[in-house]
Structure 1
Amino acid sequence: MKILFISSEVAPFSKTGGLGDVAGALPAALAALGHDVKVVTPRYRDVKEARRLSPTGHSLQLRFPFGEQQGPILSARLSERLEVLFLENAAFYGDRHGLYGDAFGEFGDNARRFAYLSVGALQAAQRLGFVPDIVHANDWQTGLVPVALRRGFQATALARAKSVFTIHNLAYQGLFSKHVMEDLGLPWELFTADGGLEFHDTVNLLKGGLVFADALTTVSPTYAREIQTPEQGYGLDGLLRHRAHRLTGILNGIDTHEWNPVTDPYLPARYSARELDGKDRCKRELLARFGLPWSDAPVFGIVSRLAWQKGVDLLLEALPVALQADLRFVAVGSGEAPLEDGLRALQARFPQQVAIHLGFDTALSHLVEAGSDFFLMPSRYEPCGLNQMYSLRYGTVPVVRATGGLVDTVEGGLGGNGILFEAFHKAALVAAFRRALALYADPPRLTEFRRRGMDKDFSWDASASRYVALYQSLVSG
């Protein structure tokens, strides 16, 4: 098949979170299965590896009520069947830092910026003579893709393409004043609550994807069920229940080349499920790197955005109780100021047990995954989650809340590979710490947990095959 994959970020060129990882890995896995894939994304000012970009000789020319927009189409050919196309536009992408906003907040023209991406991606396919079988859009930034495909490209060769829209995080919906209808040239007949873009008298771009796409997916089976409930539906649960027959949860994979304890260049020692000795050396190096004295006590680690979604506030409630036991806690991340301040205060209170690194550090993140005994993810909600899969692969037992993709990857119980807790409550997390300490006190059982986790296959191969089956079902009708 020919697949046009559209995303506002694509690793390794641009990334703010899991969307960038998926948009970098899934198209590559699809291409490896023999499909022709073109990925379309903006050419941001801060695009990494810009030296790999070359001109295609084609440009976009789009007319919106707010003005005519144009810009060249650049290319990075990653393999015989995989090409990433970059839409260059100085006003929208090239003359500013940040993908969606800066220190002052979200960019005020994001509706225009991502309308340019959505319509421009379809026009780019036309310019290059690429007639896709599938157009796969992702998150609110590309919510107008299924709308444009259905309403603006029906007289073109793209009309036969089937559309797939993936929800990576339903909490982010792309809400704008209803005046963007006229600004973007969207017909007012689409400003309806039933079957349109209207959402409490605003324009909801993510809703456009949910209403107009031929198929909907999200990033884990459990999350697909959760977003159909009022608790996690963010006002769209009714629509998602209505379209449940079109909604599929497909678990994300991970990059098993980057995250491999047998070959990881960031580790002082490598190890495998059958040869675990190197993990102890990683633990010693981890404590030294954080300036904590060596101890055989269990190490609990996190690598995370410090955000409300991730349950870091719950962690700050539970840790003072848990730290009464002999354990160590290390953290890598950045985010909301009150949570950063909370971690600083915790470190000041327990200087021999707690150490933090505020900021992102790739090498240190790998070392936390390898050197920790347990990895903490007390999330309020988690569409898929990647770090719990990294942890399992590295023989680090995840301690996670039973939500979203965490349920689909971490197995509790005596024959499991991790520790789950249900209630989003301090007492439940403290009890999970106690279960982890009991497991650590039983080395043979701990080794079994580690090996069961390391034996799990979280590669993109299985996930990509499920997407292909979905694509084929759409193409065949």
Structure 2
Amino acid sequence: MKNILFAASESTPFMKTGGLADVTGSLPQALNKIRENEVRVILPFYEAMDESYKKEAVRKASFEVPVGWRVQEAHLYELEWEGVTHYFIRNEFYFGRDDVYGYFDDGERFAFFSRAVIESFPYLDFDVDILHAHDWQTGLAVAFAGILQPKPGLRTVFTIHNIQHQGWMGPDAFYDVLNIGPEHFAGLEWHGMINCMKAALHHTDKITTVSPSYAQEIRQPYYGEGLDPVLNARSADLMGIINGINTDDYNPATDPNLAEPYTTSRLKKKANKRKLQKQLCLKDDPDIPMYSIVSRLVEQKGFHLLEHILDEFLQENVQVVLLGTGDTAFEQSFAYFSSRYPEKMSALLRFSEPLARQIYAASDFFIMPSKFEPCGLSQLIALQYKTIPIVRETGGLRDTVQPYNEITGEGNGFSFANYNAHELLYSLRYSMLVYHRPELFKPLIANVNRSRFSWKDSAELYNGLYEELV
């Protein structure tokens, strides 16, 4: 039996700001189905959590955590959800706030949490064999594990979900926050600063990231965000494992948000399209190809490309539905196109999970032209709802979307290689051509229907990695 403790800053259903929470919420359940594992999760206790979870959590212990010259109190709580034991570290000073991130002292907040993870070991009633930390917020937990050695033989895994966010702190934080000897400064320092992700990469036994292609990309200067030398030095310990999704949750056959639940029926998919067309005041015609975007509206997601060609694309007999919020410039741009082409485009500048699922179910194509994408969950959800992804060939998009080949009949989507607006436009127009030719569209849809991205295969790969460590 291997006892594995996941340390993360967020996890569904307790707190979610992005895909990290989906992974740390779903992967432990899949790993626990492999008999030789018991995976538990430790998170901050956010005051912004839903009251029902806060009431259910049981206080187990209290202990002190050193933070520089100060001592902070940590209260350990426990709650079981979906068969997985979750621990929470409660501290009002650091986590009694309205939001998860975005504070001037985020580095100190998650340094406290990382140290509290290590200090909690004697109180867990769980003999941890492997500490598996996720992203920069828990990078120092891996460093503290290596330096403080809370348990003989403890092994560590660190997963990079997005290398763009690394957890930088000024050099004074080493003495003001971390409480470790000066001989350890070099392992945490990067370009004169304390870098939480670099600290993890230096101290961990194994490094994973969320797709095989991203594992290769981040070893290059263009994608490595300055950490490519460290990753190249640790390349023998680096591997990419593609994320899965919770296929019980994302299931169009049982999704209560849909007007017409379905498995593979295109007629029922068209019924969902007509419902959405009426709801959004688009032209009521189920044979018009509908293209969708459900995303944060930020540069990483490739929206500069879409802006450049959207006016030209909307001259075609198509519909575009966009759901999301983000940079003001993108919001204003897409609101303009929506007002200019009211029967062809609807820009919904908000987020709603039920509406997102209705859009996945209604649309024929899903547009995801990312500048970079560590894994991407949206294209996996689209495929689960039998919607054809159109992506740029980067990171996890390259690993999960195979471009359609009308000669061989292979492929489950459309893709383009260069970060170029007219390559995107060409892919969009080619998808229209295929849509209107049944002899091409039918084999493509058959491939989409066969696409599966549950956690089962990914969990087996993680299990193999854990076996290697212990």
Partner of 2:329: 338
2:325 aligned counterpart, secondary structure: strand
Alignment of structure 1 residues 283-432 onto 2, 5 Å: 283-295=273-285, 296-414=287-405, 415-432=410-427
Q: Map 1:6-17 to 2 at 5 A.
A: 6-17=7-18
Is the counterpart of residue 55 in structure 1 residue 46 in structure 2?
A: no
Query: 2:143 matched to which residue of 1?
Result: 147
1:162 aligns with 2:155: yes
**How do 1:2-151 and structure 2 match up within 5 A?**
2-34=3-35, 35-48=37-50, 49-51=52-54, 53-78=56-81, 82-94=84-96, 96-101=97-102, 107-151=103-147
Which residue in the other structure is 2:184 paired with?
Answer: 190
Which residue does the alignment assign to 1:104? none
Aligned-partner Cα distance in 2 for 1:126–1:28: 24
Offset at residue 32 of structure 1 (A): 2.0
User: How far does residue 294 in structure 1 lie from its aligned partner after superposition?
Assistant: 0.8
2:412 and 2:451 in contact (8 A); partners too = no
Say yes or no: does 1:221 pair with 2:216.
no
Counterpart CA distance in 2 for 1:270 and 1:42 is 37
Secondary structure (helix, strand or coil) at the match of 1:160 reads coil
Distance change in 2, residues 1:311/1:79 (3 Å): closer
TM-score by length of 2: 0.96
- Count how many residue pairs are aligned between Structure 1 and Structure 2: 461
Counterpart of 2:443 in 1: which secondary structure? helix
Report how far residue 51 of structure 1 moved: 4.6
2-structure distance, mates of 1:262, 1:52: 33
SS in 2 for 1:306: coil
Secondary structure of 1:445's aligned partner: helix
Q: Aligned pair in 2 of structure 1 residues 362, 310: CA closer, same or farther (>3 Å)? A: same
Deviation at 1:52, TM superposition (A): 5.5
Tell which deviates more after alignment, 71-80 or 113-122.
71-80
For residues 298 and 59 of structure 2, the distance between their equivalents in structure 1, rounded to whole angstroms, comes to 40
Structure 2 residues without counterparts, runs of 5 or longer: none
Q: Offset of 1:79 from its aligned partner?
A: 5.0
Task: Kindly state the Cα deviation for residue 187 of structure 1 after the two structures are TM-superposed.
Answer: 3.1
Gaps of 5+ in 1: 102-106
For residues 443 and 393 of structure 1, the distance between their equivalents in structure 2, rounded to whole angstroms, comes to 21
1:453–1:189 CA distance, 2 compared to 1 (3 A): same
In structure 2, how many angstroms separate the alpha carbons of the residues matched to 1:432 and 1:394? 21
Identity %: 37
Change (3 A) 1:132 1:374: same
Structure 2 residue 280 is matched with structure 1 residue 280? no
**Amino acid of the residue matched to residue 85 of structure 2?**
E
Q: Determine helix, strand or coil for the equivalent of 1:203.
A: strand
Deviations 1:57-107 (A, max 9, x none): 311311222411113211111255x2011111000002x110012xxxxx1
Kept after mapping to 1: 8 A contact 2:6/2:133: yes
Q: Does the 8 Å CA contact 2:134/2:158 hold for their aligned counterparts?
A: yes
Q: Which amino acid is 1:442 matched to?
A: R
Does the 8 A contact of 1:75 with 1:85 survive in 2?
yes
Match for residue 178 of structure 1 among 171, 188, 192: 171
**1:209: Cα distance to partner?**
0.7
Contact 2:74 2:116 in 1 (8 A): no
SS at match of 2:24: helix
Q: Does the CA contact (< 8 Å) of 2:210 and 2:240 recur in 1?
A: yes
Contact 2:404 / 2:444 at 8 angstroms: preserved in 1?
A: no
Look up the equivalent residue of 1:175 and give its one-letter code: W
Q: Distance in 2 between matches of 1:464 and 1:18?
A: 17
Secondary structure of 2:128's counterpart equals coil
Greater CA drift, 364-373 or 181-190: 181-190
Contact 2:393 2:417 in 1 (8 A): yes
C-alpha contact (below 8 Å) 2:67/2:112 kept by paired residues:
no
CA distance in 2, matches of 1:266, 1:451: 25
- On the 8 A contact 1:150/1:159 being kept in 2, the answer is no
Partner Cα distance (1:355, 1:293) in 2: 11
Measured after TM superposition, the shift of residue 453 of structure 1 is 1.5
Alpha-carbon separation, structure 1, partners of 2:33 and 2:119? 26
Alpha-carbon deviations, 1:101-137, whole Å to 9, x = none? 2xxxxx1211221112111112222212322111000
SS at match of 1:340: helix
1:462 Cα offset (Å): 0.8
**Which amino acid counterpart does residue 225 of structure 1 have in structure 2?**
Q
1:190 Cα deviation after fit: 2.9
The verdict on how the C-alpha distance between 1:315 and 1:66 changes in structure 2, with shifts beyond 3 A counting, is farther
3-state SS, counterpart of residue 44 of structure 1: coil
Give the Å deviation of 1:271.
1.6
* Worse overlay, 226-235 or 346-355: 346-355
The alignment partner of 1:452 has SS state of: helix
Q: Residue 232 of structure 1 aligns to a residue in which SS?
A: helix
Distance in 2, Cα, partners of 1:469 & 1:218: 15
Q: In structure 2, what is the Cα distance between the partners aligned to 1:384 and 1:228?
A: 16
Task: Tell me how far apart the structure 2 counterparts of residues 350 and 187 of structure 1 sit (CA, whole Å).
Answer: 63
Q: 1:394 to 1:429 in 2, by over 3 A?
A: same
